[in-house]
Amino acid sequence: MVLSNKVIVVTGGASGIGYECVKAYIGEGARVAVLDVQRETMERLSAKPGNADLYLPCDVSDETQVKTAIAQVERHYGRIDCIHNNAGIAAPAKPLHETTVGEWQALMQVNVFSIYLTTRCGLAALQQSKGCILNTSSMVGRIGQANHAVYTATKGAVDALTKSMALDYATYGIRVNAVAPAGVWTPLLREWAAEQPDTADIETYLDGIHPLGYCPEADVIADACVFLVSEKARFITGCILPVGGGAELGYKR
């Protein structure tokens, strides 16, 4: 098992890509702590055998809550080997001028500011373990997306942060990478699909943007994440790894 006895913190790990990563990490021998705002979901998951043994309710955009949660993880496990910054929101589906100040702030706080908080609070532990940081980005951070200006801006920021963090923390032996999916069937994407005016055609559209021919479930992202946080990727840092079935290559027609 490539993650045997590694301690991994996953933000937004109660559903979607985060939950698939939690399961994959545990399957490879890791001990996982989940930080998420979905308290009821985490309570249900904690009752199931084989899931993470530490579920911490945490708003990752709140400094006090993040500081408290990271300290709890360190007390519980005695170390941290990896922080996977996966928590994110995508709504609303609007152009920039229609986005409210509150919506702008929420997207920036959850998708970008949270990475600052977990890094500040967890860096000392990662220095001791010579661990790694993994950020969940998105292909739209590179190419843009209509009616999602602020969301795409946050993912562009994640990409830039990942590269600069990789340079800053290499001196400590800490690797920093990001995974960049295209479409992935998660609760977040299903919510987005329901908001679109052409919901009947959205599944065909999502299949079509991936040259491999289908929009995947989140387990394909989790497999890539296992690699990036493992010693198999020990000489990889600053990488924004596209996992989009070739979507990053361009449209098929």
Please identify every residue annotated as catalytic.
151
Q: Taking each helix axis from N to C terminus, what angle separates 114-129 and 149-169, rounded to the nearest 10 degrees?
A: 20
Q: Residue 148 has what DSSP assignment?
A: B
CA distance 81 to 26: 14
CA distance 59 to 110: 8
Q: Residue 216 has what DSSP assignment?
A: P
CA distance 16 to 237: 25
Among all chains, which residue has been given the structure tokens 């152009």? Answer: 95
Q: Establish whether the linkage from the previous residue to 92 is cis, with ω within 30° of 0.
A: yes
CA distance 113 to 116: 5
CA distance 83 to 30: 12
CA distance 212 to 45: 33
**210 Cβ contact list (under 8 Å, min separation 6):** 182, 183, 216, 244, 245, 246, 247
